[in-house]
DNA sequence: ACCTGAACACCGTTCAAGT
DNA sequence: ACCTGAACACCGTTCAAGT
């Protein structure tokens, strides 16, 4: 376990944990589109849980559209939605004797999936290599070391999805949208909050404030407002991984965000005279 | 290095780092009240720095009142201010053959000093035992394990100093005082932000909001306001240890805190009708 | 009974030995 | 030249062997 690092992330319910593990196997390419995921019976046996819990696991993944039931066959990995690039069916062109080539991108994606599934503390170079079924030292031909890998993971996650939907025109709507977006990233990837954050995290937040410049906001206030909101979101996110006893922080997050935006509103509206 | 943990805390200037190390030696009891700390010449030699930098180290400690210059003798550890309990001169009564007994309290205090001086990532059971000059396994007779030790460290730090000065009567002054107090704790102990926080951290913040109850605030809002402010402080504190390129966050902290308190002010004043 | 050295099962990473 | 197994210098903690 990491120095000064507590048991990462509250222990989730078994069906959630197992669903996350299967999600990781699918994300890493271990189980590919059209291939069968373990059956209810197999899951129950492998993880030592009851069939009804195992059934819950598959229904979670089905609800996400990640797998689908094929009558007479079993549950298989569904095609990636929207035909996103990188979501291919079957082996890629460059493959050699059945194994896909090891790339930096595949390493990073698998590392993210592993940290999501088993917690940040469970991510080790050895465990990652085992997941990818390559020798540990093979990773070092693609990433300089673990710290850099973690930085790449953070980059990848912040780049993974922009804001969904159209961006509001006003600063308040934008700031709230970006804050909620980052909050959802932290919830999906709890290890992220304790990581060194990429510059991208601050950039999007600053963009959100920019409409207020037309209202006469001093330019120097933009990075401060951005940092304030980003810090708040990250602070709640860090608490998210404080331990198993952590309460549901979603209502807390929403409440605090509203207070914070009210305070920014007061600041922008009164446009203080002093520099 | 810890899993998912980046090089803990920005690399500080050499004179700061060395000052922190000496502070740790004093806090752990290795150098006791009245005993000499290393001279400018010795510091310069031991750490391979110039005499002028070494002089800066001692002037930092002198400015803190931790050491004082005794003409004809050298620089010695000053008596602890205010005669606080635990700050004794000379060996405690229970000592045997020159070594002080190992206690949980001494372990925790030395661990805090070590993490402060060398960064959270440098705290290991082995390093701590070496600092205390005891076998590693001796620690396990006083603390169950490292996770528990870290929790005790957080407890100790949050308990170490209450609010200095008298508490303001109004919620805003109190909330600001507690927020600034916790901010100063994080600055003194950067490893704290990434640690699992003790319940005490939330308690003090809730106490701060309580005067607003007399203004008609719904009781359910108190923990939310407290959590919001605490999360904000912790979020800035986590950024504090993001890396060597971290800018001075103090003005950012002050700016954001003012916005946040403005937002809470708006909330409390309008006392919304909906539940 | 108390204490702790050796051992175990892990880390991240270097480096030289393989192909 | 490319790849990687063995080795090094660490971890936290168990456990049996010492006193």
Query: What radius of gyration do chain B's Cα atoms show?
Result: 21
In this structure, what DSSP letter does residue A229 have? Answer: H
Residue B2 included in any domain: no
Instruction: Tell whether B179 and B200 lie within a shared domain.
Output: yes
Give the minimum alpha-carbon distance from B231 to chain A in angstroms, rounded to a whole number: 4
Which residues of chain B neighbour A266 with C-beta distances below 8 Å? 259, 262-263, 266
Q: Which residues pair with A69 in a beta bridge?
A: A75
Question: Rounded mean pLDDT of chain B?
Answer: 79
Give the ranges where chain A is alpha helix by DSSP (H). Answer: 14-27, 40-47, 51-63, 104-118, 125-132, 146-160, 171-188, 199-209, 221-240, 250-270
Q: In the structure, how far is the CA atom of residue B138 from the C1' atom of nucleotide D17, in angstroms?
A: 16
Residue A52's pLDDT band, with cuts at 50, 70 and 90, is confident
Residue A137's pLDDT band, with cuts at 50, 70 and 90, is very high
HEC letters along chain B: CCCCCCCCCCCCCHHHHHHHHHHHHHHHCCCCCCCECCCHHHHHHHHCCCHHHHHHHHHHHHHCCCEEEECCCEEEECCCHHHCCCCCCCCCCCCECCECCCCHHHHHHHHHHHHHHHCHHHCCHHHHHHHHCCCHHHHHHCCCCHHHHHHHHHHHHHHHCCCCCCCCCCHHHHHHHHHHHHHHHHHHCHHHHHCCCCHHHHHHHHHHHHHHHHHCCCCCHHHHHHHHHHHHHHHHHHHHCCCCCCCCCHHHHHHHHHHHHHHHHHHHHHCCCCC
Q: Which residue of B has its CA nearest to A2?
A: B2
Give the minimum alpha-carbon distance from B232 to chain A in angstroms, rounded to a whole number: 4
Give the minimum alpha-carbon distance from A4 to chain B in angstroms, rounded to a whole number: 6
Instruction: Tell whether B260 and B166 lie within a shared domain.
Output: yes
Instruction: Tell whether A155 and A250 lie within a shared domain.
Output: no
Question: Is pLDDT of A89 > 60?
Answer: no
Q: Tally Cβ neighbours within 10 Å of residue B91.
A: 13
- Lowest-confidence pick of A4-8, A19-23, B139-143, B232-236: A4-8
Question: Is pLDDT of A157 > 80?
Answer: yes
Question: Is pLDDT of B258 > 90?
Answer: yes
Give the separation between CA B119 and CA B92, rounded to whole angstroms. Answer: 29
Residue identified by tokens 């990250």 is A234
**What is the number of alpha carbons within 13 Å of residue B1 lying toward its C-beta?**
14
Instruction: Tell whether B137 and B168 lie within a shared domain.
Output: no
Instruction: Tell whether B122 and B178 lie within a shared domain.
Output: no
Query: Model confidence over A197-244: pLDDT tens digits?
Result: 877 777 889 999 999 988 889 989 999 999 999 999 999 999 988 876
Residue A93 included in any domain: no
Q: Tally Cβ neighbours within 10 Å of residue B203.
A: 12
Residue B111 included in any domain: yes
Which residues of chain A neighbour B264 with C-beta distances below 8 Å? 259, 263
Question: Rounded mean pLDDT of chain A?
Answer: 79
Kindly state the percentage of chain A with pLDDT values over 70. Answer: 71
Contact partners, residue A203, CB within 8 Å, separation at least 6: none
Give the minimum alpha-carbon distance from B93 to chain A in angstroms, rounded to a whole number: 34
Inter-chain residue contact A2 with B4, CB threshold 8 Å = yes
Question: Is strand D less than 7 A from the beta carbon of B104?
Answer: no
Instruction: Tell whether B150 and B191 lie within a shared domain.
Output: no
Give the separation between CA B242 and CA B8, rounded to whole angstroms. Answer: 8
Determine which of A125, A221, A235, A271 to mutate to test the interface with B (most B C-beta atoms within 10 Å).
A235
Which residues of chain B neighbour A197 with C-beta distances below 8 Å? 239, 242
Instruction: Tell whether B130 and B168 lie within a shared domain.
Output: no
Q: In the structure, how far is the CA atom of residue B31 from the C1' atom of nucleotide C2, in angstroms?
A: 29
Instruction: Tell whether B177 and B119 lie within a shared domain.
Output: no
Q: Are A18 and A47 in contact (CB under 8 A)?
A: yes
The last residue of one of the domains, among B159, B190, B224, is B159
Task: Determine the pLDDT at residue A66.
Answer: 79
Instruction: Tell whether B24 and B43 lie within a shared domain.
Output: yes
Inter-chain residue contact A260 with B261, CB threshold 8 Å = no
Q: CA B194 → CA A5, A224, B178, B191, B197, distances in Å?
A: 7, 23, 19, 6, 8
Task: Determine the pLDDT at residue B196.
Answer: 84
Question: Is pLDDT of A1 > 50?
Answer: no
Task: Determine the pLDDT at residue A254.
Answer: 97
Inter-chain residue contact B2 with A7, CB threshold 8 Å = no
Question: Is pLDDT of B48 > 60?
Answer: no
Out of A74-83, B127-136, B234-243, give the one with best mean pLDDT.
Answer: B127-136
Nucleic chain D: which protein residues 105-144 of B have CB below 7 A from it? 123-127, 136-137, 140
Which residues of chain A neighbour B171 with C-beta distances below 8 Å? none
Residue A3 included in any domain: no
Residue-range definition of the domain harbouring residue A197: 161-269
Kindly state the percentage of chain A with pLDDT values over 90. Answer: 47
Higher confidence at residue A219 or residue B75? Answer: A219
Question: Is pLDDT of A176 > 90?
Answer: yes
Closest to B235 (Cβ–Cβ): which among A146, A221, A235?
A235
Residue A150 included in any domain: yes
Give the separation between CA B181 and CA B169, rounded to whole angstroms. Answer: 16
The CATH number that applies at residue A65 is 1.10.10.10
Q: Strand C nucleotides below 7 A of a protein CB?
A: 3-6, 10-15
The CATH number that applies at residue A259 is 1.10.357
Task: Determine the pLDDT at residue B4.
Answer: 35
The last residue of one of the domains, among B117, B137, B159, is B159
For C6, which residue's CA is nearest its C1'? B137
Which residues of chain A neighbour B196 with C-beta distances below 8 Å? 6, 242-243
Closest nucleotide over all strands to B136 (CA to C1'): C4
Q: Which residue of A has its CA nearest to B256?
A: A228
Closest nucleotide over all strands to B140 (CA to C1'): D13
Question: Is pLDDT of B272 > 70?
Answer: no
Q: Which residue of A has its CA nearest to B146?
A: A4
Q: How many domains does chain A have?
A: 3
Closest nucleotide over all strands to A135 (CA to C1'): D4
Residue B47 included in any domain: yes
The CATH number that applies at residue B143 is 1.10.10.60
Determine which of A121, A222, A231 to mutate to test the interface with B (most B C-beta atoms within 10 Å).
A231
Task: Determine the pLDDT at residue A72.
Answer: 60
Residue A234 included in any domain: yes
Q: Which residues touch strand C (CB under 7 A)?
A: A 123-127, 136-137, 140, 145-147; B 1, 3, 134-138, 140-141
The last residue of one of the domains, among B159, B183, B199, is B159
Nearest to B8 by CA among A194, A200, A108, A126: A194
Residue B275 included in any domain: no
Out of A13-17, A50-54, B108-112, give the one with best mean pLDDT.
Answer: B108-112
Instruction: Tell whether A177 and A228 lie within a shared domain.
Output: yes
Task: Determine the pLDDT at residue A49.
Answer: 62
Instruction: Tell whether A23 and A122 lie within a shared domain.
Output: no
Give the separation between CA B206 and CA B208, rounded to whole angstroms. Answer: 5
Instruction: Tell whether A175 and A259 lie within a shared domain.
Output: yes
Residue B251's pLDDT band, with cuts at 50, 70 and 90, is very high
């Amino acid at each position: 376990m990491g120095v000064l690092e507590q048991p990462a992330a509250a222990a989730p319910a078994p069906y959630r944990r197992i669903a996350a593990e299967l999600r990781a196997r699918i994300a890493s390419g271990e189980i590919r589109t059209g291939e069968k995921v373990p059956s209810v019976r197999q899951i129950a046996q492998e993880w030592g849980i009851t069939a009804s819990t195992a059934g819950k696991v598959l229904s979670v993944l089905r609800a996400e559209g990640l797998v689908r039931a094929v009558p007479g066959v079993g549950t298989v990995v569904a095609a990636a939605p929207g035909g996103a690039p990188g979501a291919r069916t079957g082996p890629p062109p460059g493959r050699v004797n059945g194994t896909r080539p090891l790339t930096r991108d595949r390493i990073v994606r698998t590392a993210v999936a592993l940290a999501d599934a088993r917690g940040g503390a469970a991510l080790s170079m050895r465990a990652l290599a085992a997941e990818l079924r390559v020798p540990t030292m093979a990773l070092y031909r693609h990433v300089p070391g673990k710290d850099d890998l973690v930085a790449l993971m953070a980059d990848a996650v912040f780049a993974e999805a922009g804001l969904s939907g159209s961006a509001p025109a006003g600063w308040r709507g934008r700031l709230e949208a970006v804050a909620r977006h980052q909050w959802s990233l932290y919830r999906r990837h709890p290890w992220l909050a304790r990581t060194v954050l990429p510059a991208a995290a601050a950039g999007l937040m600053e963009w959100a404030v920019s409409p207020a410049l037309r209202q006469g906001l001093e330019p120097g206030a933009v990075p401060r407002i951005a940092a304030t909101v980003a810090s708040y979101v990250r602070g709640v996110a860090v608490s998210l991984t404080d331990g198993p006893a952590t309460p549901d922080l979603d209502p807390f997050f929403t409440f605090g965000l509203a207070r914070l935006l009210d305070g920014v509103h007061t600041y922008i509206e009164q446009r203080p005279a002093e520099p």
